[in-house]
Amino acid sequence: MKRIKVGIINVTGYTGMELARLLCRHPKVKLASVTGRSAIGNKLCQIFPHLSDIDLIVQPELEDVALAFSAMPHKASAEGVLEALERGIKVVDLSADFRLKEAAEYQLWYQASHPAPQLLAEAVYGLTELNRSQIASARLVANPGCYPTGAILALAPAVEGGIIAPDIIIDSKSGVSGAGRTLTLNTHFSEANENVSAYALDGHRHLPEIVQELQKLTPETLSITFLPHLVPMTRGILTSCYAQLLRGETSKEEVKQLYQEFYRDEPFVKVVDFPPGTKQTWGNNLCLIYATIDSRTGRLIVISCLDNLVKGGAGQAIQNMNLMLGFPETAGLEMPAVYP
């Protein structure tokens, strides 16, 4: 069977190169074209030796493909997405440009006017577990942010099930790769190593995305506090969520059953029997979830773990691509974690 051609816009970022790594072994598609602003004219294998099996030259523009992944920064990504759609190319956008449904909300959080507001209503939020049918028929999918993926998956069963009060706290800890390859003071080795720090205390850009998607699951108005932290590791996000239970008699076993039923048929969300660690998701597309109750306070506690570059980025994007092109959802993504 002839494989379908796909391409990557901006292969030189962390999510771009992770897409290339996963796609080069995909049984149904062929990575046929890659672009990158800083590496035009260079062979991909010369830039990244671990991708030596991919015989491609980085081009200034995308060639003819059936589907493209845009791994450009926000605002710049929307411009490339618009051009690809005009050429009849389906797109999975890994930037934030099409995640929020309101242009004014985008301007508030990203301090820029939206380059293509006419596409916001059409774009489908690409959290496969919640929007599977819409993704399958979409031509534009907005891949979720890494933090929102872990947070929304951790909270969706409880919010939809109506078992918690609307006041929710989300505490997330991310590896340094989540900041991308652009150098900043906070991501220098000497600053990040042996150090844990909170940031964006006045509001992180991923907060409106979390609120937007969880709010769809309940008629109650949610009040969500989201606090991210940078921890000295390369990959991974551990998210801890806290909310007051509405029914004091709810048992730990009932919570576990709620979560197991919600994710019963999901190939990439596993409800586990003990608090997971980030290394248990290194390099694969799993989100591990542990839900329990603090019996002293009547609070729900949910822990989720994922690899921010895979389920929180490139893996989720390929999961969406599989649906958009009519492939098995798990195609190219069934690999175990690298542990320890």
The CA distance from 59 to 39, in Å, is: 8
Q: Write the DSSP symbol of residue 21.
A: H
Parallel, antiparallel, or unpaired for β 164-174 and 197-198?
Answer: unpaired
Catalytic residue among 45, 146, 287, 305: 146
The CA distance from 225 to 204, in Å, is: 10
Residues of 183-207 as b/e, b for ≥16 C-beta within 10 angstroms? eeeebeeeebeeeeeeeeeeebbbb
Calculate the alpha carbon distances from 280 to 33, 174, 252, 289, 315 in Å: 32, 14, 23, 11, 15
Is residue 287 part of the annotated active site? The answer reads: no
Please, which residues have CB within 8 angstroms of residue 84's CB and are 6 or more apart in sequence? 9, 62, 68, 70, 91
Parallel, antiparallel, or unpaired for β 4-9 and 29-34?
Answer: parallel
Asked if 290 contacts 148 with a C-beta cutoff of 8 angstroms, the reply is: no
Joined together, the tokens standing for residue 272 give: 């586990």
Asked if 217 contacts 157 with a C-beta cutoff of 8 angstroms, the reply is: no
Joined together, the tokens standing for residue 260 give: 């197991």
Calculate the alpha carbon distances from 214 to 13, 75, 137, 161, 223 in Å: 29, 25, 22, 12, 11
Please, which residues have CB within 8 angstroms of residue 159's CB and are 6 or more apart in sequence? 214, 217, 218, 222
Active-site residue set: 146
